[in-house]
Amino acid sequence: MTRKTSSNMVRNISILSGNSHISLALSICNYLSISPSERILCKFSSGESRCEIQDSVRGKDVYIIQSFGVGEDPNYKVNDYLMEVCIMIAACKGGSARRVTAVLPLFPYSRQPDLAFSKAGAPLRGDKGMVVDGEGKAGSGKAEAYTFESVPVTPHPNIARTAGLGSKGLDMADVVGRVTNSNNNTGGVGYRGGTPSGIQTPPLQLITYGTGNNNNNNNNTFPPPPPGQFTTHDYENPSLMLSLHPPKPNYKQWMAQSGSLVADLLTCSGADRILTCDLHEQTYQGFFDIPVDNLHARPFLCKYISQHILPTTNSVTIISPDAGGAKRATAIADVLNLPFALIHKERRHPKFIPGKKSAKATMMLVGEVKGRTCLLIDDLVDTGNTITRAAKLLKREGAERVVAVVTHGVFSGDALERIESSALDKVVVTNTVDQTAHLRRCGKVEVLDVSGVFGEAVRRVHFGESLAGLFEGEGML
């Protein structure tokens, strides 16, 4: 994409850059024929971030460019970059900016799931151990009460997202009554304690239910309650419910909702719009209540393949390294009219593998690659385990050449050393993450410049134009 001339220079706009990818911000400013705004962005000796906007942003359309890869400075990590962009957004809003758009080519925390899940993939189960579908029991059309083994991914009709005292259709007293042993006439053990709110819960006390003899001098002995009857303290106490309903062994009991948390941080900082590229999970946009523009690098990847790969060979196959990226890979295969193959990766539980004490990932190729050039298509490479293992499998199946074409090249840890010694012939990435240091460490890395598409996206957002025209018919080719 060609740079705009000075006669088309965008006015009343301010471009600010974080410390993660300054060269990308400069390229975008060069495309728009403007100069970046001055700012001071550094760290105090205590590690706290300092931000000072030195140019006036009053009434301007501000775009803050910050990526979240592994930069050249080892003192800066992803969390530092996240705090920087939040502080810069708040500083611009405090400076009376008309609108603040966060341009985040690689979105942070986009790979972490937002809801608790079970490794075993257990479905929702009703009170009698029957599998419950979206309408309840099969053929019943009436929803059963859910147990504490799992939580619906989305709120079920007439049932709250988190089961509790206020959940419709859920009799907590009945649930507790079924699991207690208070019917034992000779004495039993129950749990009681906590506060009605459940916010500040004292340690659970072990209460012994006696036989009702008033001469018993034990102060901790009480007459057994009627079967199935408990006080509000009992079934509104989260600690009690967890003790009565322990989770399954493989269930992640508490999981931080990182996705919605990052979305809330950016929104509460004052961001009016988010501009990103190739989100790992498309549903991540649902965490925001502000517009999110998710650009994609497919036109650049298709252009590279058509200009540098196809002229050298006629036998090319598009490969998806896992099932999750099949849709992304088939989209490129359809545009270029190339065959497609898939690598199926499965992590089997140790109990299904005799003599194994840990989970083992197995990979299986679905398709024909013998004597062909294989193009591994993925959205992100971090540690490089997936693509290096996939390349090894492809070479073992007879592939002549293996090239990885990836949007975001994070290359954390020893990823570059692993790639250098792997069966991969080349790794093509975009510059959504700063690749300056990576190019010096690995000779197999090649970088595509995407500053043009971000510059054009910024120009279109500023003038209120549609972004769909950027990709109509893969028009970037």
At 394 the pLDDT is 94
Q: Are 373 and 400 in contact (CB under 8 A)?
A: yes
pLDDT over 90 (residue 243): no
What are the residues facing 141 on neighbouring strands? none
Angle at 292 between CA 270 and CA 157, to 5 degrees: 100
> How far is C-alpha 108 from the geometric centre of its chain's CA atoms?
8
What does the DSSP 8-state code read for residue 372? S
The SS3 assignment for 361 reads strand
How far CA 323 is from CA of 124, 274, 319, 344, in Å, comes to: 24, 28, 10, 6
Q: How far apart are CA 265 and CA 109, in angstroms?
A: 12
Q: Is residue 4 within 8 Å of residue 24, measured between CB atoms? A: no
Given a cut of 50, is residue 205 above it in pLDDT? Answer: no
What confidence category does residue 209 fall into, taking pLDDT thresholds of 50, 70 and 90? very low
Per-residue pLDDT, 413: 87
pLDDT of residue 34: 93
The candidate with the shortest Cα–Cα distance to 164, out of 246, 252, 228, 242, is 242
- Higher pLDDT, residue 309 or 468: 309
Q: Which of 183-187, 299-303, 372-376 has the highest mean pLDDT?
A: 372-376
pTM of the model: 0.68
In the numeric block, which tokens belong to residue 451? 């500053």
**Which range has the worst mean pLDDT, 58-62, 148-152, 209-213, 363-367?**
148-152
Percentage of residues in the chain having pLDDT higher than 70: 63
Average pLDDT score over residue span 46-64: 93
Q: How far apart are CA 63 and CA 42, in angstroms?
A: 19
pLDDT tens-digit map of 78-109: 999 999 999 999 999 999 999 999 999 999 98
Q: Residue 213 pLDDT more than 60? A: no
Instruction: State the Rg of the chain over Cα.
Output: 29
Averaged pLDDT for residues 443-471:
91
Mean confidence (pLDDT) of the chain:
75
Please tell me the distance from the alpha carbon of residue 275 to that of residue 65, in angstroms, as a whole number. 9
Task: Count how many residues are written for the chain.
Answer: 477
Taking residues 407-421, report their average pLDDT.
93
Could you give the CA distance from residue 100 to residue 314 in angstroms, rounded to a whole number? 47
**Tokens standing for 88?**
């810069």
Query: 193 near 204, Cβ under 8 Å?
Result: yes
Please give the pLDDT value at position 62.
97
